[in-house]
Amino acid sequence: MKVLLVEDEKLIRQFIVEYFQKQGEEVIEASDGYEGLSLLDDSFDLVLLDIMMPGIDGYEVCKQIRQKNDIPILFISALSDDDNKLKGYDLGADDFISKPFTPSLLYAKCNALLKRFKKDEQGMIIEEGIIRINDDTHEVYIDGEKVSLSHKEYQMLMYFIDNKRKILSRDQLLDRIWGYDYYGDQRIVDTYVKKLRKKLKAASVYIQTVVKIGYMFDSKG
């Protein structure tokens, strides 16, 4: 695992680096957002990103990364309220850990996040109504037009398709997409469904709302 750690507090960087290196992992440090953006390339597996930093904050760094890279991003921050988490997820973050934390928990979260990001080695074309998906490249087409989905939007779409015509509760979607250790507000599910529907355009009707429960995917109406 090669990790880019973007954190302005030197002591926090040190205790993360020491633990990860003991596990045999490689960590490259950046003391601010600008340095982090300049260091990021395709060799990294994951980004650990602080939010409150001088110059350019973690939200803006996340936003700029997502414009050209789908790498997993885990926020490490003292801002633990739901509104800040929702803002992070909306910008494309994949997970959060609140300060203070133990390095062992952070390491476990990183491993769990990377497991969720593993691509299926065998290419596969999936078709549902006007949706066509290359599961090897994660390319999604709606009625022949390519659309760009974030990693979590793609995960959500695939989970819907894998469970088509089944009612999925918000808790089920939350656990599957964000993990069992996510303790935030269920509103994040509705936020991502809204974003996904917008990107699916004419296929948005495939995701049906089940009042007071959750959602159901049905491409056959």
Average pLDDT over residues 126-143: 90
Copy the structure tokens of residue 108.
């476990």
List of domains in the chain: 2-117 (3.40.50.2300), 125-217 (1.10.10.10)
- In this structure, what is the dihedral angle of CA atoms 13, 14, 18, 21, given to the nearest 10 degrees? 50
Average pLDDT over residues 35-62: 92
Q: Give 7's pLDDT tier (boundaries 50, 70, 90).
A: very high
141-154 residue pLDDT tens: 999 999 999 989 99
Identity at 24, one-letter amino acid code: G
Decide if pLDDT at 196 tops 70: yes
> How many whole angstroms separate alpha carbon 52 and alpha carbon 49?
9
Q: Give 108's pLDDT tier (boundaries 50, 70, 90).
A: very high
Decide if pLDDT at 207 tops 80: yes
> How many whole angstroms separate alpha carbon 130 and alpha carbon 47?
35
Decide if pLDDT at 132 tops 50: yes
Copy the structure tokens of residue 136.
């090897």
What does DSSP say about strands 214-217 and 167-169: parallel, antiparallel, or unpaired?
Answer: antiparallel
The model carries a pTM of 0.59
Pick from 197, 192, 195, 198: which is nearest to 207 by CA? Answer: 197
Decide if pLDDT at 88 tops 90: no
pLDDT: which is higher, 200 or 68: 200
Q: What length does the chain have?
A: 221
**Cβ atoms 61, 36 nearer than 8 A:** yes
Please tell me the predicted confidence (pLDDT) of residue 121: 40
